[in-house]
Amino acid sequence: MKNGSLLFVLVTLLLSSCNSLHSDPDTVFPDGNGFFILNEGNFMAGNGSISFYSHETTKIYNDLFESVNGRPLGDIPTSITLAGSVGFIVVNNSGTIEVIDMHNMESLATITGLSSPRQIVIDGRKAYVSSLSSEEITIIDVDDFTIDGSIEIGSGSEAMIVYGNKLFAAHWAGGNSIKVIDLDTKQVIKTIVTGLEPESMVLDSSGKLWVLCTGGYMNEEVPALYRINPATFDIEATLPFRTLYDNPSSLVATKGGDTLLYIDEGIRRMKVTSLQLPSSPFIPSQGRLFYKLAVSPYNSMICVTDAIDYQQKGDLLIFNSSGMLIDTEQAGIIPGYMHFMGD
């Protein structure tokens, strides 16, 4: 009887533990803090996918969308944002936005007819989608999953940030400017000239806009980091990199907005009060091909993807705030954009 009682207790504890991780029996990944990773897949292969890294289990859960819907996510997913429990995933080369229930990964709709969509942001009940090839930003109604007009901006666009009633959209491929759009009138009210190819943007703790410019695909000019006042549109600081051949990317900020991080021969880190770029990496790449970067709002862990060779399955690396590697997990092919639960 003692052995039987012990077995009963162990089974009960195991079931209780499983239920705490999977409160919804239909979910394909654990509840709790974590983040989604968009795996871009091979170009033209249509094998993009979505993964989830759980801070609760410290494990990665791959192929979530396909395991539920019986089909891949599409050709090059590049951006995701959430409206409550509904996720909007931009699939660049497919020209679509996949709308999914983020609790169980079921497809709710597929929005079609977009021209090379890149990134997506939500303001109120509208989502705004940038485009690599179109000179318009597409407006999506987040309630009925339909296209609800567009905004003519006169150039392609990539990274976007909403500040007040203004949308800041970076002209990345071949461009050198930030378009400022009044969301009330749906008109461009200002063009801020920057360095070549503004690739990523963040807002800091003081509400200043930081823009990372790569210097151009062909290394036409020295890359630079710009600090812009989004209220006055003035460029307050320009921080050039070392040479034409530097290749910085993926600018992010910590949750409090007092520290910036970006990829450049590893991961570099700087306070927003500094007017000098860091001289050496905070986390060296050590032969890895760092591709996309994020910082956890839960525990300040630094998350970076390794694309390896842009052909095979890549890795997700998790570092603590001191720069110590604490976990490595295999993700999908070309793991890229990351989005945290609750963001």
Burial class (CB in 10 A: 0-12, 13-18, 19+), 198: buried
Burial class (CB in 10 A: 0-12, 13-18, 19+), 59: middle
Percent with pLDDT over 70 in the chain: 92
CA angle 61, 33, 127 (to 5 degrees): 90
Q: Could you read off the pLDDT of 11-25 as tens digits, one per residue? A: 333 333 333 333 344
Return mean pLDDT, the chain.
92
pLDDT of amino acid 183: 97
CA distance 140 to 273: 37
CB-side exposure of 163: number of CA atoms within 13 Å?
A: 23
Q: How many residues can be counted in the chain?
A: 343
Burial 136-152 (b: 16+ CB within 10 A, else e): bbbbbebeebeeeebbe
pLDDT of amino acid 27: 66
Q: Could you read off the pLDDT of 67-88 as tens digits, one per residue? A: 999 999 999 999 999 999 999 9
pLDDT of amino acid 31: 86
Rounded mean pLDDT of 265-278?
96
pLDDT of amino acid 341: 84
Work out the pLDDT band at 343, boundaries 50, 70, 90: low
> Using an 8 Å Cβ cutoff, are 287 and 298 in contact?
no
Rounded mean pLDDT of 107-136?
97
**296 DSSP 8-state letter:** -
Work out the pLDDT band at 291, boundaries 50, 70, 90: very high
Distances (CA, A) of 132 to 157, 202, 244, 318: 6, 20, 24, 30
pLDDT of amino acid 300: 93
Q: Could you read off the pLDDT of 167-219 as tens digits, one per residue? A: 999 999 999 999 999 999 999 999 999 999 999 999 999 999 999 999 999 99
pLDDT of amino acid 28: 84
Residue 3: pLDDT over 80: no
The least confident of 9-18, 59-68, 132-141, 287-296 is 9-18
Residue 155: pLDDT over 90: yes
Q: Residue 336: which of 315, 321, 322 has the closest Cα?
A: 315
Q: Residue 333 corresponds to which tokens in the numbers above? A: 């092919």
pLDDT of amino acid 4: 44
User: What pTM, to 2 d.p., does this model score?
Assistant: 0.90
CB-side exposure of 197: number of CA atoms within 13 Å?
A: 17
